[in-house]
């Protein structure tokens, strides 16, 4: 609790900004949905033959998993505000539409007949009888939609639309419970507050409700505009960074400290940021040097001329105990040692990302080319669990490891790829939930060990020294063993579009600052 309060006071501005963005996202989409769904709901009560189809269609929209829906929308609407609003809008449609339809259809037929019979026009029937009587039900729909939207809006952070999801995803990636809470708690509070406020309105009778309706017409657009308040000031380069990079000590903060550079950051998920920079949604991203998309999207890696980032040589790590119990296992994994250099890894990544070949196939092709592939040993041995982080390269490495182990030992391999972040893999390994996973020396150094400043400055430019340091410290502190490095250095690198970098003559991060 104390940590949470400290976190809030340290990140006051950021929290405020995210809360405002969150409210804005929720209410812009709610407003749009209400503007479409209420008249549409009324319309289908007049065209009962349409109602089944329309309700079923919005019902189907509702069942699309939110992450998948955001994924579908990116090719059409790009990243940021537009797809987020559109997705939230779609989710808000059904409750409002259905409740408007139900509310109006459920008005007593006798009341409607009497109203028409004594001489109300159709418009008067709607305004004076049907809408007032349906209002509590319509409000219940708005209320459901609001609560859904507050929840789903946390996912907006995945596609760079901000909101409280930034803390939540950052926290998950770094396994930082305080940070998760810092996003989840205000989101839950917002949901409860809006739910209760709307509950008050819903339970008020129709007369009071019609009075409350007018101020609401003002308040909802006002709340909607909240999204744009924090954006009124926005300095520096526009940059898209994944949540983990934002939170790591060797990530965003390190770049800012080393270069004094100023960014307007958008939180983007790993998988989206390459496309985002390619399409000009942002100008700078923090890519991985060996990612297949660097080439494909014609991105330029900026030289880290002041060494903000340590070297990131990749090697499997596992429990020390296990290497001692089974020497064969270590030998098998070390078969890969030094065989995969930067360009080989980039090609492997490219084949998965762009040629759409499965990681398993890519791994098998590589092993065959290297003459390392052997068919599966018999089943029924002990089970070995291999984990990985959630990006392409790690999926391929998991396959390489598992095919080797299956081929050379009688272990049965089980894989757990796509774990949410470094801390999650690391904790899973220490707790014995996985037996090994591929890690990077720089990450081990700065995220997991956090050495004293002078040590860091002494070794940061020397890959071998970093490897020796992490091997020694991991063994001493955690009882974990680093096996031999595979050969490539998948460093963090700031990247820009080649064309833009060329025209501004930017080659290094220092150049970037000069152009600010």
Partner 1 sequence: MIKTQGLTRRFGDFTAVREVSFELQEGETLALIGPSGCGKTTTLKMLNRLITPTAGKVWVNGQDISQQPVVQLRRQMGYVIQDMGLFPHYTVAENIAVVPRLLGWETGKIKTRTGALLEQLGLDTGAFAQKYPHELSGGQQQRVGIARALAANPPIVLMDEPFGALDPLTRQQIRRDFMELEELRSKTTIMVTHDIEEAFEMGSLICLLNRGEVQQLAPPEALLQSPANDFVADFVAEKAAQLELRSAKLRDIFSELPEVPPLQGTALTLSPTLPLLRAIYRLAKARAEHPLGATTYQGQQRYFTLPILIEAFKNNLQSWAN
124 part of the interface to partner 1, by CB under 8 A? yes
**Bridge partners, 440 (sequence order):** 314
- Quick check: helix, strand or coil at residue 127? helix
Instruction: Pick between residue 129 and residue 318 the one whose CB is nearest to partner 1.
Output: 129
Q: Where are the alpha helices (DSSP H) in 356-493?
A: 359-369, 392-408, 422-430, 441-443, 453-459, 463-478
Tokens for 220? 């909802």
Give the whole-angstrom CA distance, residue 168 versus residue 421.
13
CB nearer partner 1, residue 114 or residue 199: 114
* By CB under 8 A, residue 110 contacts partner 1: yes
- Rounded to 5°, the CA angle 169-170-174 comes to 115
> Which secondary structure element, helix H or strand E, spans residue 327, and what is its range?
helix 327-334
Only one residue has tokens 């998309």, namely 293
Rounded Cα distance between 452 and 470, Å, is 13
Query: Does residue 25 bind partner 1 (CB under 8 A)?
Result: no
Query: Total binding residues for partner 1 by CB under 8 A?
Result: 21
46 near partner 1 (CB under 8 A) = no
- Measure the CA–CA gap between 282 and 496, rounded to whole angstroms: 9
Q: Which one among 114, 192, 200, 499 touches partner 1, defined by CB under 8 A?
A: 114
Which one among 12, 50, 67, 121 touches partner 1, defined by CB under 8 A? Answer: 121
State phi, psi for 423 to the nearest 5 degrees. Answer: -60, -35
Q: Which of 17, 74, 105, 132 binds partner 1 (CB under 8 A)?
A: 132
CB of 418 to partner 1, least distance (A): 55
Hunting for tokens 């762009």 — which residue is that?
354
Q: Which is nearer to partner 1, 62 or 202 (CB)?
A: 202
For the chain, the residue count is: 516
Question: Among 32, 115, 273, 336, which residue interacts with partner 1 (rule: CB under 8 A)?
Answer: 115
Q: From the CB of residue 123, how many other CB atoms can be counted at a distance below 10 Å?
A: 8
2 part of the interface to partner 1, by CB under 8 A: no
Nearest distance in Å: CB 266, partner 1? 48
Q: Name beta bridge partners: 285.
A: 240, 495
Tell me the backbone φ, ψ of residue 418, rounded to 5 degrees: 75, 30
What string marks each residue from 197 to 236 as x (binds partner 1 by CB under 8 A) or -? --------xxx-----------------------------
Of 121-129, 169-177, 227-235, 477-485: span binding partner 1 (CB under 8 A): 121-129
Q: Which is nearer to partner 1, 2 or 117 (CB)?
A: 117
Least distance between partner 1 and beta carbon 140 (Å): 17
Q: CB burial class (10 A; 0-12, 13-18, 19+) of residue 112?
A: middle
Max intra-chain CA distance, the chain: 94
Nearer to partner 1 by C-beta: 116 or 322? Answer: 116
Of residues 347 through 386, those in contact with partner 1 by CB under 8 A are: none
Near partner 1 by CB under 8 A: residue from 35, 56, 111, 200: 111
Please report how close the Cβ of residue 220 comes to partner 1 at its closest, in angstroms.
24
Nearest distance from C-beta of residue 109 to partner 1, angstroms: 8
Q: Which of 3, 10, 106, 113 binds partner 1 (CB under 8 A)?
A: 113
Binding segment for partner 1 (CB under 8 A), chosen from 108-116, 164-172, 306-314, 404-412, is: 108-116
SS3 call for 416? strand
Kindly state whether residue 116 participates in binding partner 1, applying the rule CB under 8 A.
yes
Minimum distance, C-beta of residue 141 to partner 1, in the bound complex (Å): 19
Gap between the Cα atoms of 138 and 41, Å rounded: 10
Site string for partner 1, 133-152 (x = CB under 8 A): x-------------------
Among residues 117, 215, 260, 452, which is the contact residue for partner 1, using CB under 8 A? 117
Judged by CB under 8 A, which stretch of 123-131, 140-148, 168-176, 462-470 contacts partner 1? 123-131
Nearest approach in angstroms of CB 269 to partner 1 is: 49
Sheet holding 480-482, edge to edge: 412-419, 383-389, 436-440, 314-319, 480-482
**Residue 251 per-residue DSSP state:** T
In the complex with partner 1, the residue whose CB is nearer, 130 or 353, is 130
Q: Name the residue among 373, 434, 424 with its Cα closest to residue 403.
A: 373
Helix axes 81-105, 131-152, angle to 10 degrees: 150
Give me 457's structure tokens: 């400055």
Q: Does 516 bind partner 1 (CB under 8 A)?
A: no
Nearest CA among 8, 27, 24 for reference residue 163: 24
Closest approach, Cβ 219 to partner 1, in A, equals: 24
Of 209 and 333, nearer to partner 1 (C-beta) is: 209
How far is residue 371's CA from residue 397's CA, in Å, rounded to a whole number? Answer: 17
Task: Of 250, 382, 247, 385, give the one whose Cα is nearest residue 316.
Answer: 385
Q: Which stretch binds partner 1 (CB under 8 A): 22-30, 114-122, 255-263, 425-433?
A: 114-122
Residue number with CB closer to partner 1 (121 or 343): 121
Using the rule CB under 8 A, which residue among 120, 216, 357, 372 binds partner 1? 120
Least distance between partner 1 and beta carbon 129 (Å):
6
- Cβ at position 213, least distance to partner 1 in Å: 14
Q: Could you tell me the two tokens for 438? A: 């591929």
- CA torsion sign, 13 to 16 to 19 to 25? negative
Reading the block at residue 178, the tokens are 């305080």
Q: How far is the CB of 113 from partner 1 (least distance, A)?
A: 6
Interface positions with partner 1 (CB under 8 A): 108, 110-121, 124, 128-129, 132-133, 205-207
């Amino acid at each position: 609790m104390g940590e949470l309060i400290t976190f809030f006071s340290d990140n006051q501005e950021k929290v405020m900004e995210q809360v405002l963005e969150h409210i804005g996202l929720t209410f812009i989409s709610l407003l749009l949905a209400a503007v479409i769904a209420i008249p549409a709901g009324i319309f289908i009560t007049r065209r009962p033959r349409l109602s089944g189809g329309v309700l079923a269609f919005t019902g189907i929209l509702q069942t699309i998993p939110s992450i998948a829906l955001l994924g579908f929308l990116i090719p059409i609407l790009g990243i940021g505000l537009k797809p987020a609003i559109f997705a939230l809008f779609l989710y808000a449609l059904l409750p409002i539409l259905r409740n408007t339809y139900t509310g109006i259809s459920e008005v007593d037929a006798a009341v409607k007949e009497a109203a028409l019979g004594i001489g109300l026009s159709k418009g008067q029937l709607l305004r004076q009888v049907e809408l007032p009587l349906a209002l509590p039900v319509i409000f219940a729909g708005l209320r459901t939609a609001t609560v859904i939207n507050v929840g789903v809006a946390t996912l907006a952070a995945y596609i760079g639309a901000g909101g409280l999801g930034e803390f939540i995803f950052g926290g998950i990636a770094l396994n930082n419970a305080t940070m998760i809470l810092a996003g989840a708690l205000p989101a839950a509070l917002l949901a409860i507050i809006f739910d209760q406020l709307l509950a008050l309105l819903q339970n008020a009778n129709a007369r009071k409700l019609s009075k409350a309706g007018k101020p609401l017409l003002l308040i909802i657009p006002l709340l909607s505009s909240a999204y744009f308040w924090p954006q009124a000031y926005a300095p520096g380069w526009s940059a898209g960074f994944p949540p983990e990079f934002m939170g790591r000590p060797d990530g965003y903060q390190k770049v800012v400290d080393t270069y004094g550079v100023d960014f307007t950051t958008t939180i983007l998920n790993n998988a989206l940021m390459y496309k985002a920079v390619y399409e000009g949604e942002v100008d700078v991203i923090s890519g991985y040097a060996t990612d297949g998309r660097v080439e494909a999207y014609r991105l330029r890696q900026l030289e880290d001329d002041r060494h903000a980032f340590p070297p990131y040589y990749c090697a499997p790590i596992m429990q020390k105990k296990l290497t001692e119990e089974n020497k064969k296992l270590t030998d098998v994994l070390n078969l890969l040692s030094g065989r995969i250099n930067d360009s080989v890894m980039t090609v492997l990544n490219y084949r998965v990302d762009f040629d759409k070949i499965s990681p398993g196939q890519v791994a098998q092709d590589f092993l065959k080319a290297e003459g390392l592939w052997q068919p599966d040993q018999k089943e029924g041995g002990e089970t070995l669990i291999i984990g990985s982080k959630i990006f392409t390269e790690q999926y391929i490495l998991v396959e390489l490891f598992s095919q080797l182990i299956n081929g050379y030992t009688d272990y049965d391999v089980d894989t757990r790829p796509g774990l949410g972040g470094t801390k999650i893999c690391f904790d899973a390994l220490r707790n014995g939930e996985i037996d090994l996973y591929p890690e990077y020396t720089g990450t081990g150094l700065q995220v997991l060990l956090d050495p004293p400043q002078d040590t860091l400055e002494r070794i940061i430019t020397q890959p071998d020294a970093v490897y020796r340091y992490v091997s020694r410290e991991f063994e001493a502190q955690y009882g974990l063993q680093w096996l031999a490095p595979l050969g490539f250095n998948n460093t963090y690198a700031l990247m820009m579009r080649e064309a833009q970098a060329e025209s501004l003559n930017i080659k290094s991060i220092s150049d970037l600052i000069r152009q600010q």
